[in-house]
Amino acid sequence: MGSDTDLLGPSKDFVKTSWSLVKSASKGAGWDPLIRLYWKPLYFYVRRRGIDNETAKDLIQDFLTMLLERRSIEKADPSRGRFRTFLLAALDNFLADWKKKETRQKRGRGVPVLSFDFAGGERDYTLEIASGETPETLACRAWARQLLDQCLLELEGIPAHVAALRLRLRGADYKEICEHTRLSDSMAQLAVHRLSREFGEILGRRLREICPDPAEFQAELAEFMDLLKA
């Protein structure tokens, strides 16, 4: 049985997706995939800054709507670092302005209302904050797990088997996996082995469509895995 961590085959092609999503969206693909990937990390970031959940909902809605209205994302510069770093810096500025004005400006002007599962986001946030991490680290981990969730949704398999793979990717040993999924040790290992390749293909296909350049694959894969397991 091969290694269950060899998710993307020999090349381990995992790309740094963010700037490619920006470019793709700017060319007409639409902003929804990008927004769906980043709203929860941004929400975690705001909540970790001590802002209550109802206010955080409004702030994230307003912040993302502002970025879309002003086309600020298109002006972001890839040479200045990662896209999530750009987003957090922009959000910090937005929060500073909000605190000065002491009011939330409701935006619209023809832009559709953004709809997110904030109730689910709050449940996930409550589970995550026990570690006491910085807002930045919490947001980065939320990004990695949001990306993982999107890929696992495409995976076809028995729910307990998919759950086994999810736990394994997040660093669980097989004893823990068996306790959570009620699979036998041999079945858990077999499920992870069988689904790992399919998961890798899904991940690779999704990302190669928007960024075929392999230059940054290794570094981003390493950070992605570290964030999942921490």
pLDDT of 146-184, one tens digit each? 878 888 888 888 999 999 999 998 888 999 999 999 999
Q: Are 129 and 48 in contact (CB under 8 A)?
A: yes
The CA-atom distances, in angstroms, between 202 and each of 9, 82, 150 are 12, 23, 10
In angstroms, the CA 33 to CA 133 distance is: 27
pLDDT of residue 8 exceeding 50, the answer is no
pTM, to two decimals = 0.58
Average pLDDT over all residues of the chain: 76
Q: Are 142 and 131 in contact (CB under 8 A)?
A: no
Using DSSP's 3-state secondary structure scheme, residue 176 falls into helix
Query: Looking at 67-76, 110-119, 131-140, 190-199, which range is the least confident one?
Result: 110-119
pLDDT of residue 18 exceeding 50, the answer is yes
pLDDT band at 110; cut points 50, 70, 90? very low
In angstroms, the CA 211 to CA 182 distance is: 39
Mean pLDDT of 91-111: 67
Query: Looking at 9-13, 47-51, 171-175, which range is the least confident one?
Result: 9-13
Q: How far apart are the first and last CA of the chain?
A: 26
pLDDT score of 163:
93
